[in-house]
Structure 1
Amino acid sequence: MKASLSYLLLVQVVIVLPASGCAAARPRPVEKSAVSGQPASPAAEPLATSARALEHYLRARLHELAGDYQQATYEMRKALLYDDGSAHLHTALGQYYAGQGLWEKASREAARAHRLDPRYLPALMLQAVALLRAGKKEQAAERLQRVLQIDGKNIEAAIRLAQLYLDLDRKQQAEQVLQRMTRANPESAEGFRRLGDLAFERGDEKKAESYFRRALQLEPADTRTIEVLAGLLERQGRYREAIAVFEDALEYSPENPGYMAYMAGLYLKAGDRASARAYFEQLRASDPRNARLIAYEYSKLNMHDEAIGELKKLLQAHPNLNAERLLLAILYEERKQWELALAELEHIPEKSRVHLNALINRGYCLLNSKRYQQAETVLLQALAKASQDDDRGRIWRYLASLWSKTGKVDEGVRRLDEALARHPQLLDLVEAKASLLVDGGRADAGIAVLRRAIEKNPRSVQLLYSLGAMLEKAGRVPESIAAMRRVLDLEPNNASALNFIGYTLADQKQNLDEAEQLVRRALLLQPGNGAITDSLGWVLYQKGQYRQALELLRQADRLSPGEAVIIMHIGDALLKLGRLQQARREYRRALEADPEPRDRRQIVERLRRLKGEGRS
């Protein structure tokens, strides 16, 4: 009688429990897709043909419910002693192994299940995941293709296969898989989201928008897609439409401070400061520390005075907020107010979680203040503490700049080579070495360093962008533009590359219509960016539209104060408008902004010509 009651209890448990699956951290359902929760396929056979096998199978599921996967595995193995011919039981055991990270055993069980029933989808899916874990991507793709041949509506298989093709850089095949899947499953929001991501990656924003809107029709509460679509519209300068979309995010998460701050930022970009202020006031009222979010939104638009004001008020009330103090220092750095930045950074204690960042930024400020010995000491101290590649990369780039400015090129190259031997995967080191060589007058050697690295990493946007910049420094302009176009092939929405090409074309007085189109595109992606605003002003200057150019250049100077090149461009526009005295003042102001040597020579030459014109 006890055995019968136990058996009935286990049957009742299994009726309400999901079956196990093949996720890495914890088993997931085999009968349902890990992505959509929809049935993957009908079971190919009964769970087990033996009553004893079924009893152990049910016990395994009960242990799974209790979180005891080792005991669940033991019971599933016992089940197989009584029914070794069940593809379902072999797959279930494989999924338990997978849940414990035992992927070789999982793969063996999946292979046994596949031999027993070549059309059993959970076994094929488990095989695919195991092959992916082993790095056998082509074989994994073959298994996923087989799943889709058997069940063309299998959402999980389609999503996995599309992602696998993306990893293999076969974007067209990924898109074809997703298109077939959405035709078979027109209610799959995930499929349309993925199609939207792909369309956006290749620069087809119109199609991306239509896919994202379709996904939202299917899942209106999907805040991730709301965020992506609002961001896409924002990048196109369609701020009111972005606001309308993002209102839905606030409806589903009305107390989310990040959402409220983002909405305020959209209103700022739309020119509606009153609505932005209303959101900011609501943020302050709910928690004064939300001032950090307000400051961030202001800083994105280069409204540094407003951002600094928010943070100073916050820190007066809460002086121990070290992350906010670091942000305040960074805003001072943006304005080239090095001493003010240093004063804030020195207040961040060593025990703070942002102390390493504060140390790196101190080195950067000292470097720009031309206190080279102190800068080197601080940066080497930071390097000794850094454990993350991103931090190490920043430090090495600053050190390379320091060694270039102090004439220690050979020593710097030696130290960078030693670091590369320890961290060969760190592309920032390659970039730092190339930059040091180019700045040290050995441009061919620096460019060769980058080209060798690109041979090993042909799709590295970082290396290709650096190559373009170094080629431009070396005066090899056509090659630099070609390198930047390769960046755009990989990332059509790379604002820095768009701006680089547009500005360089304008500087060369070439293809000015294309230059304007590229720079305007970059400005839509990064509104409020002073450098890009300067580029657009410079394009219009080269087109002879001096008044419009001057207006943009003055705006760029407000957005990025103290930039010598921007100030020089203002002088150029004033000169063309016949305002010689004002032009002279701007050129002198540009010299006071500590320009790079190449820019300094150009400014001095302009002043010399003006002086000669004054005599005549």
Structure 2
Amino acid sequence: MYRILYKNLPINLVFSVLILSSCAQSPAFDKDVSLESLGDKAYERQDYETAETYFKQALQSDPTISAYEGLAQTYEAQNSWNKAIEIWAAISKVDGLTIEQSDHFKLKAAKNYARLGNSLDARNYLNKIKTNSLLETREGRLVDGLTSVLEGQETKAINIFQKILMQTPSDHSIKINLALTYLVFNKPDIAITLFSEMPNNQVAKLNKSIALVLNGQDEEALKIATALQGENGANKTIRYAQDLKDMPPKSRARHLFGVK
């Protein structure tokens, strides 16, 4: 296990300047009563505030990389992307990690930058990854795909999502990402076809109504949205879709993919 060089470092320090080092494995302890294990269990039951508290306490007494991972994942679960980035970036630089281990943490940092809509830093971290097999995983491709959408790289983004979909054709989340990419780049007719292939998926139905507005089919869009959301909700969705019409692709991408 990897440990921080100084055990008394405060938890609220700037992780990007942490001095980290490798050392011998930590001694075995009862995972049922360890603070880190309590953090894991709180995380599993989605009690993220409690999990955060336990992981911070664990880091004060036994600052291992796995505890930092737990804290970073807890921040992610609370949409605290910047806090998570600080941890992933710091532990990717730990001495003694294999290239693949370091690249794993770099990918996590890239994912969170993409979630923030920061395509520049997301791409920077993706470019630092040397483990090609990691970039070819579903997670690696998803991060690359979203980053490409945010960068305005239409062909690259579409190719990435199509490649994932070819491998897992029943993966509706990927098909939705692909359809949204077509919406970003003003191809609502293709998006409508993809959304229609998922008739029982509520997210696909709602996005289909948005695609219909962008395709000039407001009346049909309103029917679908009303069935899903009621009259008031449907009217808000239609207005939202109409606002998207005037947005350039990069701004539209941030809205459709829900990044900040």
Normalising by structure 2, we get a TM-score of 0.60
Q: Distance in 1 between matches of 2:227 and 2:146?
A: 22
Cα 1:393–1:590 change in 2 (3 A) is farther
* 1:431-488 Cα shifts (integer Å, max 9, x gaps): 4422433565754333211111111145335423322222233332321233345457
* CA displacement at 1:430 relative to structure 2: 2.9
If each structure's helix is expressed as a fraction of its own residues, which one has the higher value? 1
Is the CA contact 1:530–1:557 (under 8 Å) kept in the aligned structure 2?
A: no
| Alignment partner, residue 453 of structure 1 | 91
Deviation for aligned residue 1:545:
2.9
- AA aligned to 1:500 is V
1:398 to 37, 44, 50: 44
Q: Tell me if the contact between 2:40 and 2:51 (Cα under 8 Å) persists in the aligned partners.
A: no
Distance 1:488 1:392 in 2: 34
Is 1:579 matched up with 2:217? yes
Letter in 2 for 1:398: E
Amino acid at match of 1:467: A
Whether 1:414 aligns to 2:60 is no
Contact 2:145 2:161 in 1 (8 A): yes
Are positions 1:503 and 2:146 aligned together? yes
1:487–1:494 contact (8 Å) kept in structure 2? no
1:238 maps to what in 2?
none
Supply the distance in 1 between the matched residues of 2:148 and 2:228 (Cα, whole angstroms).
Answer: 23
Q: How far does residue 512 in structure 1 lie from its aligned partner after superposition?
A: 0.4
Task: Measure how far apart 1:490 and its partner are.
Answer: 3.4
Report the equivalent of 1:424. 64
- Structure 2 residue runs without a partner (length 5+): 1-30, 244-260
2:187 pairs, out of 541, 545, 554, with 545
Q: Corresponding residue for 2:116? A: 474
Cα deviation for residue 568 of structure 1 reads: 3.8
Instruction: Give RMSD over aligned pairs.
Output: 4.0
Aligned partners of 1:542 and 1:611: how far apart in 2? 13
* Structure 1 SS opposite 2:93: helix
Q: What's 2:125 paired with?
A: 483
Match of 1:197 in 2: none
Q: Distance in 1 between matches of 2:140 and 2:227?
A: 29
Q: Which structure 1 segments of 5+ residues have no match? A: 1-382, 593-600
Q: Distance in 1 between matches of 2:73 and 2:83?
A: 10
Which protein shows a greater Rg? 1
Distance 1:430 1:591 in 2: 41
State the distance in 1 between where 2:80 and 2:146 align: 25
Whole-angstrom CA distance in 2 between matches of 1:554 and 1:581 = 17
**RCO comparison, higher one (Cα < 8 Å, 6+):** 2
The one-letter code sitting in structure 2 at the alignment partner of 1:582 is: E
Instruction: Answer yes or no: is the 8 Å Cα contact 2:72–2:83 preserved in 1.
Output: yes
Cα distance in 1, alignment partners of residues 241 and 121 from structure 2: 34
State how 1:103-502 maps to structure 2 within 5 Å.
Answer: 384=32, 395=41, 397-399=43-45, 401-403=46-48, 408=49, 411-420=50-59, 421-422=61-62, 424-426=64-66, 429-437=67-75, 440=78, 443-456=81-94, 457=97, 459-460=100-101, 461-486=103-128, 489-491=131-133, 492-502=135-145
* CA–CA distance in structure 1, aligned partners of residues 224 and 68 of structure 2: 38
In 1, the alpha carbon distance for the partners of 2:229 and 2:120 equals 29
Q: CA deviation at 1:395?
A: 4.2
Deviation at 1:534, TM superposition (A): 1.5
* 1:417–1:463 Cα change, 3 Å: same
Query: CA separation in 1, counterparts of 2:187 and 2:174?
Result: 17
CA contact (8 A) 2:39 2:51 kept: no
Query: 1:397 Cα deviation (Å)?
Result: 4.1
The amino acid across from 2:89 in the alignment is R
The answer to whether the 8 A contact 2:213-2:242 is kept is: no
- Aligned to 1:455, the other structure's residue is in SS state coil
TM-score scaled by length of structure 1: 0.28
1:82-121 pair list within 5 angstroms: none
Offset of residue 502 of structure 1: 1.8
**Cα shift at 1:396:** 5.5
Structure 1 residues 546 and 473: CA distance shift in structure 2, 3 A: closer
User: For residues 235 and 129 of structure 2, what CA distance do their matches in structure 1 show?
Assistant: 34
Deviations 1:291-329 (A, max 9, x none): xxxxxxxxxxxxxxxxxxxxxxxxxxxxxxxxxxxxxxx
